[in-house]
């Protein structure tokens, strides 16, 4: 697969993040970058799947809905979306999973507190891979 120079892509991501755009597409001879905010299209790009864990009371695990690369930050030098102890509302972004040159933002389906981050940033996650241990609020 073709790779972009990282400063260029970082700038793109940062600009997209700050903008009010729902979708963004850039095509050059060598590559196409498409960005889309979750929840804006007809087809939801991502969803969360929560599984109860028997051993820990009230702790749930959010797993990866797709195969891709896990990122905790919107850009390498940007602060992470969430950390251990953060509380999030339903619809808040938890992480991005890059797949097929698309940055898919994974949103929380319910208000919760992050108990543990289970996946290692910048590594591959498969379908169903545990990403976050959370406590429902």
Partner 1 sequence: MIGKILIANRGEIALRIVRACRDLGIRSVVAHSTADRDSLACALADERVCIGAGPAEQSYLRGDNIIMAACLLRCDAIHPGIGFLSENAAFARQVEEAGLIFIGPESRTIALVGNKVEARRLAAEAGVPITPGGEEALLDLDDAKRSARALGYPVIIKASAGGGGRGMRIVTGEAGLESAYRLAKKEALLFFADDGLHLERYIQNPRHVEVQLLSDGQGTVVNLGERDCSIQKRHQKLFEESPAPGLDSAMREAMASASSSLFRKLGYRGAGTVEFLVDGSSFYFMEVNARLQVEHPVSELVSGVDLVRSQIEIAQGKPLAFTQRDIALTGYALECRINALGAGTIGRVRMPAGPQVRVDTAIESNSTLPAYYDSLLAKIIVSAKSREEGLSVMERALGEVIVEGVETNLDEQREILASKLFRCGKVHTGLYDEVIKKRRHNG
How far is Cα 82 from Cα 17, in angstroms, rounded to an integer? Answer: 15
Residue of 4, 12, 67, 118 that binds partner 1 (CB under 8 A): 67
Q: Exposed, middle or buried by CB within 10 Å (0-12, 13-18, 19+), for 125?
A: buried
One residue of 9, 46, 61, 66 binding partner 1 per CB under 8 A: 66
Task: Give the residue from 107, 108, 136, 132 showing the smallest Cα distance to 118.
Answer: 132
Please say which residue, 89 or 127, places its beta carbon nearer to partner 1: 127
What's the closest the beta carbon of residue 126 comes to partner 1, in angstroms?
A: 4
**Contact call for residue 100 and partner 1 (CB under 8 A):** yes
Residue 53 in the binding site for partner 1 (CB under 8 A): no
Q: Exposure of 46 by Cβ count < 10 A (0-12 exposed, 13-18 middle, 19+ buried)?
A: buried
Q: Record the tokens describing residue 91, joined without a space.
A: 């619809």
Does 76 bind partner 1 (CB under 8 A)? Our answer is: no
| Separation of alpha carbons 67 and 57, rounded Å | 28
Site pattern 19..38 for partner 1 (x: CB under 8 A): --------------------
Is 4 a binder of partner 1 (CB under 8 A)? no
Summarize as ranges the residues that interact with partner 1 (CB under 8 A). Answer: 1-2, 66-69, 99-100, 124, 126-129
């Amino acid at each position: 697969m073709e790779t972009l120079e990282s400063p260029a892509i970082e700038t793109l991501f940062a600009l997209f993040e700050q903008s009010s755009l729902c979708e963004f597409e850039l095509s050059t001879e060598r590559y196409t970058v498409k960005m889309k905010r979750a929840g804006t299209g007809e087809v939801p790009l991502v969803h969360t799947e929560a599984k109860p864990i028997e051993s820990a009371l009230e702790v749930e695990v959010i797993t990866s809905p797709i195969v891709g690369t896990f990122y905790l930050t919107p850009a390498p030098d940007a602060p992470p979306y969430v950390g251990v102890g953060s509380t999030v509302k339903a619809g808040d972004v938890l992480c991005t999973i890059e797949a097929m040159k698309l940055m898919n933002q994974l949103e929380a389906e319910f208000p919760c507190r992050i108990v543990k981050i289970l996946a290692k940033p910048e590594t591959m996650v498969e379908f169903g891979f545990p990403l976050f241990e959370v406590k429902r609020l």
